[in-house]
């Protein structure tokens, strides 16, 4: 998920305490030379479980040209979710699930934000001004939505529809990562679980996570699902009441292949028992509306159809 707050720090500082391993970059920018590969789908099994990695890569497509920032900045947390794709890939294998990866940098357009909002194509992110995102014309914004937002969401919608045509209710699992330091503050959580309303998956997963005594677990931290879930889970899962969960993993924990493997194993161990419960695969009969503030956003999400 994006860190929305502004950091007064210098624009060109290196990523804090994060060495991006080859493993963490696997399946990301260098592996996606053509636009057709910007949305990657991995089918590791037939289970009705869909993993979503919105911020898998930091590709800036050729048609966009230069964003006007250094590669160091592009590879910071502002450009993508460091380590999230690598964990998602291992988790897909473990769970025999389908996984979708969006490899376009969220600085081009953030697929987890409603189009035409301030954070959709951010003019500034964590104190770093993005020159190419200043004063974009409506036509330029439309092109980014058409070329780099809709293809991912259409792919997600198609996978969901394919399961439902077979009479299956799929479970959606969103995987994000977050920076360990923001606004001069350390963020102590190793793993965060975001939830709102539907706790069928979040409840048992949090219970198991809390049993990990050496980890600090964020229950709706560092972001609260009660307040804002972003576009993807809101649109594809909460609006239609599909079972779902959203993870936030601290990026410095994913800096090595061993770290990635550890967290993929941990999430797999927490998810497996809950996913083995047949009653999970059903439409939630409560509601997922935010308790405050975000009702308008939730309703608005229904007006943007990725299938349109
Ligand atoms: Zn993210």
Q: How far is the CA of 166 from the centre of ligand 1 (A)?
A: 30
Domain ranges of the chain: 22-301
Q: How far is the CA of 167 from the centre of ligand 1 (A)?
A: 30
Q: How far is the CA of 162 from the centre of ligand 1 (A)?
A: 25
- CA–CA separation, 255 vs 283, rounded Å? 37
Q: Which residues contact 126 (CB under 8 A, 6 or more apart)?
A: 3, 5, 6, 7, 9, 76, 77, 78, 179, 182
If one looks up domain 22-301 in CATH, what number appears?
3.40.630.40
What does the pLDDT read at residue 37? Answer: 85
Q: How far is the CA of 237 from the centre of ligand 1 (A)?
A: 16
Q: How far is the CA of 108 from the centre of ligand 1 (A)?
A: 14
Q: Which residues contact 159 (CB under 8 A, 6 or more apart)?
A: 41, 50, 98, 100, 170
Q: How far is the CA of 177 from the centre of ligand 1 (A)?
A: 6
Q: Which regions of the chain are under pLDDT 50?
A: 2-34, 293-308
> What tens digit of pLDDT does each residue of 223-242 get?
888 878 899 999 999 989 99
Q: How far is the CA of 2 from the centre of ligand 1 (A)?
A: 6
Q: Sign (positive/negative) of CA torsion 41, 18, 192, 128?
A: negative
């Amino acid at each position: 998920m994006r860190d929305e707050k502004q950091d007064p720090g210098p624009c060109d500082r290196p990523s804090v305490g994060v060495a991006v391993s080859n493993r963490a970059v696997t399946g990301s920018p260098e592996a996606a030379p053509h636009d057709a590969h910007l949305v990657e789908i991995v089918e590791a099994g037939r289970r009705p479980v869909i993993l979503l990695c919105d911020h898998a890569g930091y590709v800036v497509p050729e048609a966009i040209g230069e964003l006007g920032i250094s590669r160091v900045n592009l590879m910071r947390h502002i450009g993508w979710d460091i380590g999230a794709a690598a964990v998602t890939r291992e988790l897909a294998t473990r769970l025999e699930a389908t996984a979708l990866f969006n490899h376009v940098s969220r600085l081009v357009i953030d697929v987890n934000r409603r189009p035409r909002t301030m954070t959709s194509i951010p003019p500034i992110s964590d104190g770093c001004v993005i020159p190419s995102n200043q004063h974009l014309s409506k036509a330029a914004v439309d092109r980014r939505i058409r070329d780099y937002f809709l293809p991912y969401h259409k792919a997600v919608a198609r996978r969901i529809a394919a399961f439902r045509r077979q009479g299956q209710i799929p479970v959606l699992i969103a995987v994000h990562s977050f920076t360990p330091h923001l606004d001069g503050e350390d963020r102590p959580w190793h793993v965060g679980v975001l939830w709102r309303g539907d706790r069928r998956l979040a409840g048992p997963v949090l219970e198991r996570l809390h049993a990990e005594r050496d980890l600090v677990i964020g229950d709706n931290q560092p972001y609260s699902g009660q307040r804002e879930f972003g576009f993807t889970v809101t649109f594809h899962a909460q609006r239609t009441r599909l079972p779902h969960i959203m993870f936030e993993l601290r990026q410095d924990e994913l800096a090595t292949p061993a770290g990635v493997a550890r967290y993929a194993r941990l999430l797999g161990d927490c998810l497996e028992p809950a996913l083995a419960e047949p009653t999970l695969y059903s439409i939630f009969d409560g509601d997922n509306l935010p308790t405050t503030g975000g009702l308008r956003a939730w309703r608005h999400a229904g007006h943007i159809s990725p299938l349109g």
